[in-house]
Structure 1
Amino acid sequence: MHGRIKGARLRDLRQARGWTREELAERCDLSPRSIQRFEGGSRIARQSAQRLARRSSKRKPTNVWA
Structure 2
Amino acid sequence: MTNTVELLAKDLNGHGGVFCPSAKADMALWNSHPKVYLDVAKSGEAKCPYCGTTFKLAAGEHVGNHH
Same fold at TM > 0.5: no
Where relative contact order (Cα < 8 A, 6+ residues apart) is larger, the structure is 1
- Greater strand share, structure number: 2
- Greater helix share, structure number: 1
Greater Rg by CA: 2
TM-score of the pair, normalised by structure 2: 0.30
